[in-house]
A and B are shown apart, each in its own frame.
Chain A
Amino acid sequence: MNCIGIEGTAHTIAAGVVEEKSEKCQVLSNIIKIYRPKQGGIHPREAANHHATYVAEIIKESLSKARIDTSEIDLVAFSKGPGLGPCLRTAATAARALSLSIDKPIMGVNHCVAHLEIGRGTLNNCTDPVLLYTSGANTQVIAFAEGKYRVFGETLDIGIGNCLDKFGRSIGLEFPCGPKIEKLAEMGKNYLELPYSIKGMDIAFSGLLTAAEQFYKHGKKLEDICYSIQETTFAALTEVTERAMAHTEKNEVLLGGGVASNVRLREMVETMASDRSARCFVPKKDLCIDNGAMIAWLGLVMYKSGLRMEIKDSHIDQRFRTDMVEVNWRGK
């Protein structure tokens, strides 16, 4: 079975084609295009305009890269939410048009759950992981429990990527700031104490952000501030992930989201996992960031489990929470 997935929750418009082979996911193509604002943060309407401009050619490119004809596509999946309304609508409209024109069923999927399922689908032995999902908007610790994907811990204010971007912008860096902060952090040596805010398995970053901005205003070395931001936030993220693993008694951890590209975060989570004899999984980079292949794969998994969606029910949901997804493909 082949499925094309269209992603458009925020900065990224993407399309990917996947094929199922003995319950594993083969990624045939994964085309990603990212809207980068000239300055400031994301403007939802401008991002949606960007997506509308490129979505058709990205779909075409994903099909030609996969060397597949529309007649060989069995299903069209799209990101139903959560995300920015105008962006979601653009991707969903494209998906509806495609579904109707090639006369194949449609399936709207949850973006956060897609990050987890692409790990299970593409990585060997990754069967029942706790996902640490870290991106611009999202910071969640997700695991399967009692028949659903449940959020065991999450940010109480802003996502970790957003925290890094906000700090970056305040010192004049361009989006995305994470990789630039990572570079600066490598040169930092002195740890400056920042608020470490964990509440149960939840986490908060806004206090740390303010404190870091204050350090900058008071002339502390930028490299040291970046080093301290990374060490503090990533240690807290690793701690809540470990708490969720202990709580759910699971011994696999999966990384997902754009911030999972950060080498230091990976290193911390890998160390934590190996110290508790657990396994750590990281999908390939293009499957970690927002992408169409993960949307396609989750759509395919849902369709195979017997779920169906009519065009008239294919509306988007900006606040589509992880635990709202009916999961009937994983047993009890």
Chain B
Amino acid sequence: MENNTILYRGAEAEICYCYYHGNPAVKKRRVKKRYRIEEIDKKLISSRTKEEVKLISDSRRQGVSVPTIYDVNLQDGIITMEYLNGERIKDILNDLGEDKRIKICNLIGESIAKLHNGNIIHGDITTSNMILYNNQIHFIDFGLGGKNGETEAQGVDLHVLMEAIESTHSKYSKCFKYVLDGYDKKLKKDSSQVIKKIDEIVKRGRYR
């Protein structure tokens, strides 16, 4: 692939292909948004870039697969990291066989438990932000995350995934249950507290 080919243009960042000392890599560049004022834009871009890098390395320490970070530029909001030549879970989940789908969902849940064991909140757990590469589920895009060990934050984190599964994989909404099975297996504290919290968050929403 050519240097600087844009692989993906998300809502807040562009991912382009590049080389880092000869190795295939990607550059994630958070794009300046003209719709918001400079004060908000600058702060969001630098704080999210910083937070993301910190959380990616913390996650690795918890045993969760994440891309290796090569370089960071806070001013311009650019992270250079390992190129994961795999597939987004969003694109493959609906087409998997039932057994394989359950397996993948269990693994997702186990990884989320490992994050939460380390007080890491991902902040945007959707199937677009997981890549299956080398038989491992890699988590990406920690830009909305943070460090927090409270049950509330963990419940909100899982609630985001629940909504993503309901909207994008609506035929397989049981998937969330399989995720919780894996979560329960690896979470150090009692997962029933967090699951209770999810119900509470759902009911807090409008018209529930």
Contacts and interface: CB of A to CB of B under 8 A. Distances in A.
Interface residues of B, number: 35
- The contact size tier of chain A is 35 or more
B68 interface: no
A271 B35 CA distance: 6
Interface in B96-112: none
A199 B206 contact: no
Interface stretch (A239-247, A294-302, A307-315): A239-247
A145 B36 contact: no
Contacts, number: 104
B36 A231 contact: yes
Interface string A131-164: 0000001101000011010111011110100000
B39 interface: yes
Tell which of B164, B205, B206 has the most Cβ of chain A within 10 Å: B206
Determine the main DSSP class of A at the interface with B. mixed
A138 B206 CA distance: 8
Interface stretch (B54-62, B69-77, B121-129): B121-129
Interface string A207-245: 000000000000000000000000110010011001101
A269 B156 CA distance: 27
B204 A156 contact: yes
A272 B205 CA distance: 27
Interface stretch (B18-26, B167-175, B181-189): B167-175
A200 B160 contact: yes
Contact of A235 (B40, B144, B160, B164): B40
A138 B207 CA distance: 10
A272 B125 contact: no
B168 A137 contact: no
Contacts of B37: 191, 231, 235
A145 B33 CA distance: 27
